[in-house]
Amino acid sequence: MDSQNKKPFSLKNIYRFTFHSLNSQPKLLIPFLIFAAVEAVFLFFIYVAPRLPFRTVLGPPIRAFWGEGFLHYPANFILLPKLASMSRTFLSVILGSLTTGMAVSMAFEIYNKKAIRLPDILKSTFRRYGPLFIVLLLITAFFYGLAKLAFVSLTKYFMAGHTALLYLKPRIWLGPVLFGINLLIVIFVQAVFIYAIPLLIIAKEKLFKAIIKSFVLFIKLFIPTIILITLPVLFYIPILVLQYNTSYLINNVFPESVLILAFVSIIISSLVVDFLITVSTTFLYLKNKENV
C-alpha cells in the first residue's frame, strides 16, 4: 500500500485520495455514468409522454393518476419534476443496487493498488445483487416513511386548529422547515446504512450482519460520516429549491427550462453527489478498517 494510504486519517486526506483516485483511474466514474445515462433515457420518455406515439403507452397512467391536463403544454412541465423524481427513486433501487456495488468494489481495488477489471467487478457485484437491492430498498422505504410521517404530523397539528408552532406559521413549517427536515432525513437515513454496502461487497458479510455493523460504524464514525454525506448534498440544494418552484420557472423563464433543470439535476446528483458520497465513505470505511 502506498504512502498516501498511510497518512493519518482526516477528511482532507479522504477527499484528496478520492480525487486522486478519479484522476488516476477515470474508470471509477463508469458506474455513475451508467446510472446517469439510464436516468436521462427515462427523463426523455417522461418529456415525450404527451406526444404521439409515446402518448399511447405513457398517457393512460398520467391521465389516471394526475389528470388529462398534464398531457398538454405547458402543464406537462409542472408534472415533469415529480415523474423524474419517481423514476430516480425506482432506478436507485433497481439499478443503483448494482452500480453502487460496482463503485464500492472499484474503490476497493484502487485503494489496494489493483487493476480494475470491469467484467470481474460486474460479475462479483451481481452475485450480491439481492442483499444490495434490500439495502437500497430499506434506505428508500425509511426515507419516504419518515418524510411522510413528518408531513402528516405537521398537517394534522395545524388542521387541529393551531395557528403556530414554536412561533412559526403553517406556511413556514410546511414550506422551508419541512424542506430542511426532509434533507436531514435523507442525510441520516443514508448515513445509517452507508457502510452496509462496503460490508456486503468488501467484507462479504451477510445482509443482517452488514446492516447492524453499518449502524455501529455510523455511531463510531458519526462526525466524519455526516460531513462526507452532507457536503455533497449541499451542491444539490439549489436544484431542489428550483424544482420546488416549477411554476415560477414556467411563468417567468420558459417551460422548457424545467427540462433543462431536470437534466442538470441528473448530472449533479449522479456524477457529483452520488460519486462523492459513495467513494469517500468507502475510503473512510477502508481507512478505519486498516486502523483497527
Encode pLDDT of 221-231 as tens digits: 999 999 999 99
Considering the domain boundaries, does residue 134 fall inside one? yes
For residue 137, the Cα-to-chain-centroid distance in whole angstroms is 12
Q: If you average pLDDT over residues 152-175, what whole number do you get? A: 89
Residue 68 lies in a domain: yes
What domain range is 70 assigned to? Answer: 11-291
Residue 74 lies in a domain: yes
DSSP character at residue 175: I
Give the Cα separation of 176 and 73 in Å (integer): 29
111 is a domain residue: yes
Inside any domain, residue 6: no
- What is the pLDDT at residue 292? 66
Assign residue 113 a region: left if phi > 0, alpha if psi is -120 to 50, beta otherwise?
Answer: left
Query: Is residue 5 very low, low, confident or very high in pLDDT (cuts 50, 70, 90)?
Result: very low
- Predicted pLDDT of residue 63: 92
Report the mean per-residue pLDDT for the chain: 92
Tell me, yes or no, whether 3 lies in a domain. no
Q: Is residue 4 in a domain? A: no
The answer to whether residue 153 sits within a structural domain is: yes
> pLDDT (tens digit, 9 = 90+) per residue, 37-49?
999 999 999 999 9
Residue 121 and residue 109: Cα distance in Å, rounded? 10
Tell me the percentage of the chain whose pLDDT exceeds 70: 97
Judge whether residue 121 has pLDDT over 90: yes
Q: How confident is the model at residue 251 (pLDDT cuts 50, 70, 90)?
A: confident
State residue 3's pLDDT score.
45
The Cα 85–Cα 92 span in angstroms is: 10
Q: Domain tally for the chain?
A: 1
Residues 6+ apart with CB under 8 A from 163: 169, 170
pLDDT at position 290, please?
A: 83
Rounded mean pLDDT of 245-256? 86
Q: Are 59 and 137 in contact (CB under 8 A)?
A: no
At residue 168, the 3 state secondary structure works out as strand
Asked whether the predicted pLDDT for residue 103 surpasses 60, the reply is: yes
3-state secondary structure of 165: strand
Nearby residues of 2 by Cβ (< 8 Å), 6 or more positions away: 113
The proportion of the chain whose per-residue pLDDT surpasses 90, expressed as a percent, equals 75
Rounded to whole angstroms, the Cα distance separating 284 from 292 reads: 12
